[in-house]
Amino acid sequence: MHQLDRKLTGKLPVIGAQHQPRVEGADPSIILRLASHSTADLSDLVGRLYTMTPEIRPLYTPCPRMAGTAVTVRTARGDNQAVKDAVADIQTGDVLVIDAQGFTGWCSGGYGMLRAATADGKLAGVIVNGAYRDIAEFEVAGLPIYGIATSPATGPKLGPGQINVAVSCGNVIINPGDVIIADAEGVIVVPHSQSEVIATVADEKRAS
């Protein structure tokens, strides 16, 4: 799995691929409550530490609003083996969050790689700190995808990669199980441990 690293650097890393167990997210009712609020209002409540910077944007327009539970992937730059492997972890309402370390030289995958999770409508959307392709297929399917760029060029499937670990997208740390809310204005991360509190405060502010 690490022969690419040896070819590139002459070194063989000790830390390799990881596939941690899937983390259960917030109750679906809480996610629905959060999704009923604007990203602007949620940003006010979670603060700048949990509001992604604007380079993470819709990769087609108009892009549907997205809400769901983060399943996270961290990939070596330009590699997409871990993205392919993570599809098996996707359950209904999940958002696939791919940290490709901002690499846009080629894509972190395509729509076909996600077909097992999209065929029955389980996948709620994709966030990628990097590039992705087959955007027209996402648009036809009405599946939200947010990222830095598009690229038609595919990368290798050599690894290493890490699944269900803490990742970074838009200068925000996302842990598996966190709630992702996104629309044309931006992407908000609600930490799993704070999701019910944030939903309650948001509901109260709207009612006041």
pLDDT of 10 reads: 59
> Residue 115's domain spans which residues?
39-200
Does pLDDT of 2 surpass 60? no
Query: For the segment 30-49, what is each residue's pLDDT rounded down to a tens digit?
Result: 999 999 999 999 999 999 99
pLDDT band at residue 57 using 50, 70 and 90 as cut-offs = very high
Query: For the segment 123-139, what is each residue's pLDDT rounded down to a tens digit?
Result: 999 999 999 999 999 99
Q: How does the average pLDDT of the chain come out, rounded?
A: 93
Does pLDDT of 5 surpass 60? no
Pair 97, 139: CB distance under 8 Å: no
Residue 30 belongs to a domain:
no
Residue 65 belongs to a domain:
yes
Q: In the chain, how many domains are there?
A: 1
Q: Residue 76's CB: how many other CB atoms inside 10 A?
A: 25
Lowest mean pLDDT among 45-54, 91-100, 112-121: 112-121
User: Between β-strands 94-99 and 66-75, what pairing exists: parallel, antiparallel or unpaired?
Assistant: parallel
Closest by CA position to 126, among listed 117, 45, 154: 117
Residue 20 belongs to a domain:
no
pLDDT band at residue 78 using 50, 70 and 90 as cut-offs = confident
pLDDT of 155 reads: 83
Q: Is 79 exposed, middle or buried (0-12, 13-18, 19+ CB in 10 A)?
A: buried
pLDDT of 9 reads: 63
Q: Residue 120's CB: how many other CB atoms inside 10 A?
A: 8
pLDDT of 11 reads: 65
Residue 160 belongs to a domain:
yes
pLDDT of 1 reads: 43
Lowest mean pLDDT among 7-11, 56-60, 101-105, 160-164: 7-11
Residue 59 belongs to a domain:
yes
Residue 172 belongs to a domain:
yes
Residue 28 belongs to a domain:
no
Residue 67 sits in a domain whose CATH number is: 3.50.30.40
Residue 7 belongs to a domain:
no
pTM summary value: 0.93
